Amino acid sequence: METSTPKVFNTHFCLHLANQILEKEAGKGSKFVASPLSLHVILSLITAGSKGHTLEQPLLFLRSTSVNDLNLLSSQIISLTSPDDATQENLTRGPLLSFVNGAWLDQRFSLKPSFEEIIKYSSKAEIKNVDFLKKADEAVAEVNSWAEKATKGLIKQVLPPGSLDSRTLLVLANALYFKGSWDQNLILQGLNRETFTFSTAKPFEPLS
């Protein structure tokens, strides 16, 4: 008989998060992209570095009872969305999906070996030592540069100026990049532009 797996925990989390985002953003008429998987991986990292009562809260939120399950799921997600160079080359004519993680640690501190191993191997993230005490602005620029490179130039800033300072100890980040095209292109000839109305009675033009 099968029991609950990390995938079940992730499904509950993703559906809950998607519902919350839709309730908050849909009524604004804004265009947005959200990745529950990205947030799941980062929260799993935070969970792995927690203990005591601090550990209980993210486990409850992620609907999991085991840090090991979360690490396993994160590793599976990253393996599926981070193809090697040979596979990447074969995907140049099809949809492209990449998922990368990064960690920046203040040079005054070190991580516990067990947590460092999770960051490096389960999340496949490179840990970079930076000087948050004297060069926080440079650290901001480094994180933004990493995000721009990871998203092929689509996201140029994830941290605004002044967002890091001498109190910052560790920054965890991930980036999700997707590029694809329709299997069959939409033919606009003969189509008329119409409005679609949300439950809020605010018109929305889907082809705009």
- 92 in a domain, yes or no? no
- Based on the fold, state whether residues 121 and 45 are members of the same structural domain: no
Asked if 97 contacts 178 with a C-beta cutoff of 8 angstroms, the reply is yes
- Specify if 188 maps to a domain: no
In a domain, 167, yes or no: yes
| Beta strands 96-106; 126-130: pairing state | parallel
Q: Which residue range forms the structural domain that includes residue 3?
A: 1-81
Mean pLDDT of the chain: 80
Q: Tens digits of per-residue pLDDT, 108-160?
A: 999 999 999 999 988 888 899 999 999 999 999 999 999 999 888 888 899 99
What pairing do the DSSP bridges indicate for beta strands 96-106 and 170-179? antiparallel
Claim to verify: residue 31 and residue 68 sit in the same structural domain: yes
Give the chain's domain count. 2
Is there a single domain that holds both residue 142 and residue 109?
A: yes
Predicted confidence band at 16 (pLDDT cuts at 50, 70, 90)?
confident
Do 102 and 154 fall within a single domain?
Answer: yes
17, 51, 56, 99 alpha-carbon torsion, rounded to 10°:
20
Does residue 204 lie within any of the structural domains?
no
Task: Give pLDDT, residue 83.
Answer: 56
Q: Do 11 and 39 belong together in one domain? A: yes
Query: What is this structure's pTM?
Result: 0.73
